[in-house]
Each structure stands twice: as structure tokens, then as C-alpha cells.
């Protein structure tokens, strides 16, 4: 008897993605070894995205919905909240402009199937420019992300487009829908680190486009591989503020009874440091509050001092 293929529900939010979205959808549907259920939410595109996606609308395993423009954070939050809960299934995030290698989902499922309880997978990526010229891998061969909390919370590692998680994580996600806009991938990583397991794949199974229209990251040139200090500062200046404190507030609102006392204390300090001087001082001076490496730790301390954590 041939074993049944695992099911993976892919969550894709689109917005003005006409240039690359068809190629990406085809790469998702071409995944080997798994049954793909693709759920697409368009976030109010003003270009030809919807008309291009219409060629997939009659496929039984594709669901396309059109929504008003709420931004990519809330769009992905909606996709997670409305995803069908299927016992034993897996769930994956997708950007609209990448290109998945055909084994991408199966590589994640192979690693997740060995884990007990809530589990999240993330992996390396091959960073490309808009024309799919290779720029380099996002993480080096010596990269080993920590599972230690709160370091894992403050690191910000984990490329959402690589992430796959099991149904136990989806159950946690659907337990509470954030009221504030927060990064969907960082939220799922936090849930995995706090209540389950996070596994990392050093191999790249995705061609990750960085181009002028990319919503996140440093942009489309080689600075995406080795950003300078000025690149990092410019990204900080134009990027969202308070993302760590907002995430802490939402985790406390949705999951505080399930947390350990240590987790609760840490997240309360991060959530309330702007109005609580003692919490702010702990974030600056307590050695527990660090990220991996001196540079990232200094970035966290700088954000605390500027009230932008």
C-alpha cells in the first residue's frame, strides 16, 4: 500500500505582484512528495495580479480571495486565522516573488515529522536579484540559531518564506488573533520557541528574490548578503518601530496562562519598558536580554534607548 502524501496548506498573500506571481504559484503547485492546498489572499492589488491568478482559479486545490488593502502583516494574519485546520497537515508561508525548488516542502516535512508536539521549520535561502542572478546564501555554513529564550525572541532570525509548521502550531495560532499588526513569521517562531520546537535547515530550497519592490529586507543588491552599517541604519530608519514590544504584548494577550513564569516576566518587561523605568533598565543592563552576537545585542539596546524596540 502506497503511503498517503502529507498535506501542506500554503498561505500566500499578494499585492501588486504581477511581475513574478505566476512563476511563484507554478513553483508551489509543482512541489514533489506532498499534496499542496494553496490559499491566496490578494491584499487589494491595483495591477494585473488578480487577472493573472485567474488561470489557477478552477483548480480544486487553489482558493483565491480578494480583500481590501490592510498591509501584508494583517493579510497574513487573516490567512492564518482562516486556514482550515487539518489534523496531521502542515502549513507554509509564501512570498509572491520567490521561486521554490521542487523539494522545498518535502524537505521541511521530513524534518518536522521527526518532532513531537508543536514544531516550526525554517531554512536557508539562495538570495537572487530580480533576474534570478545568484547573490549568495542568506546564512553561512556555520550559522546555528539559538533556541534559548529570550535570545531567540530578540534575534529576529527566520525567513518567513521558508517557514513550515505543523497543525499543533496552527492550533496555537488560531487560539488568538492579534489586534495589532505584527509579523506573522516572527509570531509563529516565538510560539515554536516558547511552546514547542524550532528546527533549522542549513540547505537552501528557495530562490529568494530581492528587488526594488520587495516589502522587507535591504533591497535588491548585494547589500542583502553583506549589509553595511549604513545599510542597517537606513533599514532601521524606514522600517517598522516597536515590533518586539508589540509582539510581546500580543503574546501576553493571547497566551499568558500557558507561559512559564520566566517567559511571562521577560515579555512583560519587553511589552512595558516604555512606561516602566525598572523594565527599561533591566532590558539595558540585565545580561539575559541579549541577541546572538554583539552587533545584534547593541541594536536591541539602541532600540530600547530610543523607545523603538
The DSSP annotation for 219-277 comes to: -SSGGGTS--HHHHHHHHHHS-SSHHHHHHHHHHHHHGGGS-HHHHHHHHHHHHTTT-H
**What percentage of the chain's residues is helix, strand, coil (to nearest 5)?**
40, 20, 40
Of the chain, the end-to-end C-alpha distance in Å amounts to 54
CA dist 110 and 113 (Å) reads 5
Cα–Cα–Cα angle for 282, 287, 288, nearest 5°? Answer: 80
The C-alpha cell at 293 is: 552576537
Cross-strand partners of 200: 122
User: Which parts of the chain fold into alpha helices (H)?
Assistant: 21-29, 49-53, 72-82, 104-112, 151-155, 167-173, 184-195, 229-238, 243-255, 261-272, 277-285, 294-305
The C-alpha cell at 23 is: 512563476
Cross-strand partners of 208: 127
pLDDT exceeds cutoff 90 at 267: yes
Query: What are 158-182's pLDDT values in tens digits?
Result: 999 999 999 999 999 999 999 999 9
The answer to whether 195 and 118 are in contact (CB under 8 A) is yes
User: Which parts of 99-146 fold into alpha helices (H)?
Assistant: 104-112
Q: What is the mean pLDDT of residues 200-224?
A: 70
pLDDT exceeds cutoff 80 at 147: yes
The answer to whether 271 and 252 are in contact (CB under 8 A) is yes
Under the banding of pLDDT at 50, 70 and 90, the label for residue 284 is: very high
Q: How much is the pLDDT for 3?
A: 66
Burial environment of residue 265 by CB neighbours within 10 A (0 to 12, 13 to 18, 19 or more): middle
Under the banding of pLDDT at 50, 70 and 90, the label for residue 220 is: very low
Q: How much is the pLDDT for 222?
A: 46
Could you give the percent of the chain with pLDDT greater than 70? 90
The C-alpha cell at 58 is: 478552477
The C-alpha cell at 259 is: 507561559
Q: How much is the pLDDT for 221?
A: 47
The answer to whether 162 and 124 are in contact (CB under 8 A) is yes
Query: What are 12-68's pLDDT values in tens digits?
Result: 999 999 999 999 999 999 999 999 999 999 999 999 999 999 999 999 999 999 999
The C-alpha cell at 86 is: 487539518
Please tell me the pTM assigned to this model.
0.92
The DSSP code for 110 is: H
Amino acid at each position: 500500500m502506497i503511503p498517503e502524501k502529507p498535506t501542506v496548506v500554503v498561505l500566500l498573500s499578494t499585492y501588486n505582484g504581477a511581475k513574478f506571481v505566476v512563476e511563484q504559484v507554478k513553483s508551489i503547485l509543482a512541489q514533489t512528495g506532498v499534496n499542496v492546498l494553496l490559499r491566496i489572499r490578494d491584499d487589494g492589488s491595483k495591477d494585473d495580479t488578480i487577472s493573472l491568478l485567474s488561470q489557477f482559479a478552477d483548480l480544486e486545490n487553489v482558493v483565491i480571495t480578494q480583500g481590501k488593502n490592510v498591509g501584508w502583516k494583517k493579510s497574513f494574519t487573516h490567512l492564518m486565522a482562516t486556514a482550515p485546520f487539518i489534523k496531521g497537515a502542515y502549513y507554509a508561508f509564501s512570498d509572491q516573488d520567490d521561486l521554490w525548488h521542487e523539494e522545498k516542502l518535502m524537505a521541511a516535512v521530513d524534518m518536522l515529522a521527526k518532532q513531537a508536539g508543536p514544531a516550526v521549520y525554517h531554512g536557508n535561502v539562495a538570495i537572487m536579484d530580480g533576474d534570478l542572478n545568484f547573490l549568495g546564501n542568506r546564512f553561512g555554513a556555520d550559522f546555528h540559531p539559538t533556541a534559548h529564550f529570550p535570545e531567540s525572541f530578540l534575534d529576529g532570525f527566520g525567513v518567513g518564506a521558508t517557514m513550515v509548521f505543523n497543525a499543533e502550531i496552527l492550533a496555537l495560532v488560531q487560539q488568538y488573533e492579534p489586534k495589532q499588526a505584527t509579523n506573522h513569521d516572527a509570531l509563529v517562531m516565538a510560539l515554536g520557541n516558547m511552546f514547542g520546537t524550532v528546527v533549522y535547515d542549513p540547505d537552501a530550497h528557495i530562490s529568494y528574490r530581492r528587488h526594488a519592490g520587495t516589502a522587507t529586507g535591504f533591497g535588491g543588491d548585494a547589500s542583502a548578503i553583506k549589509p553595511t552599517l549604513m545599510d542597517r541604519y537606513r533599514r532601521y530608519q524606514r522600517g517598522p518601530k516597536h515590533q518586539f514590544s508589540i509582539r510581546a504584548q500580543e503574546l501576553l494577550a493571547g497566551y499568558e496562562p500557558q507561559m512559564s513564569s520566566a517567559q511571562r516576566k521577560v515579555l512583560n518587561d519587553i511589552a512595558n519598558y516604555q512606561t516602566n523605568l525598572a523594565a527599561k533598565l533591566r532590558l539595558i543592563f540585565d545580561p539575559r536580554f541579549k541577541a546572538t552576537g554583539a552587533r545584534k545585542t547593541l541594536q536591541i539596546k539602541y532600540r530600547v534607548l530610543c523607545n523603538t524596540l
